[in-house]
A and B are shown apart, each in its own frame.
Chain A
Amino acid sequence: DTAVSQTPKYLVTQMGNDKSIKCEQNLGHDTMYWYKQDSKKFLKIMFSYNNKELIINETVPNRFSPKSPDKAHLNLHINSLELGDSAVYFCASSQDSASGIEQYFGPGTRLTVT
């Protein structure tokens, strides 16, 4: 009964390729997030969607495009991958977008760009 799941768990690809990471939550939450954790373990928010609408868009390159087909899914597509995109990407969800609500995290996707 995984609450927040991500696929794939590991992704190794070459520079210039386009790849997608999928996220699904079965908690009935309204809000979903993408975070990037770099090699120094620094975790930073990238995007947030509430009821399929984008509500937070940090200064992320245009090569990153999130898509939310429904409340339970938030996918991340990355074009023209660069070495600096290598990181662990975490999806998360929360009941709604109000402040202070606990976020539930997925297991992460380790992306390695060679």
Chain B
Amino acid sequence: AQSVSQHNHHVILSEAASLELGCNYSYGGTVNLFWYVQYPGQHLQLLLKYFSGDPLVKGIKGFEAEFIKSKFSFNLRKPSVQWSDTAEYFCAVNLSNTGFQKLVFGTGTRLLVSP
């Protein structure tokens, strides 16, 4: 069965530190990949997405992610985090051949950025 793993459940960083959150999925076919963010008390919002083309995807607020097909990974990065990046981050995968969109989410990574 398709699954998504986020190995870092809790991450604590100081402001200006670099961030990398891991995401691995298990499916051998074509996938669409997403990172969603949930700020405290707010909705899930899309940070970035990968469908095809350049495997390095840039999203909002300075985030980027790299799709490495051989490693089944889609890690999220940011060179310098801010206190306002404190949030829960979810990786999600969608099979592109199902006809209907069905997102499978990872368990999330809680990021705390201290000022």
Contact = CB atoms under 8 A, between A and B. Distances in A.
A12 interface: no
A99 B98 contact: yes
Interface residues of A, number: 27
Given A99-B32, A105-B43, A106-B43, A48 B96 contact: no
Contact of B103 (A4, A41, A45, A106): A45
Nearest to B94: A99
A27 to B, nearest CB: 13
Contacts of B43: 4, 104-108
Given A56-B100, A97-B101, A99-B98, A107 B51 contact: no
A106 B104 CA distance: 17
B98 to A, nearest CB: 6
Interface in A58-96: 90, 92, 94
Interface in B80-103: 88, 90, 94-103
B32 A100 contact: yes
Contacts of B42: 107
A109 interface: no
B100 A100 contact: no
Which among A90, A100, A102, A106 has the highest number of chain B CB atoms within 10 Å? A100
Contact of A100 (B51, B105, B108): B51
A97 B100 CA distance: 5
Interface of A: 4, 31, 40-45, 48, 50, 55-56, 90, 92, 94, 97-108
Interface of B: 32, 34, 36, 42-46, 49, 51, 88, 90, 94-105, 107-108, 110
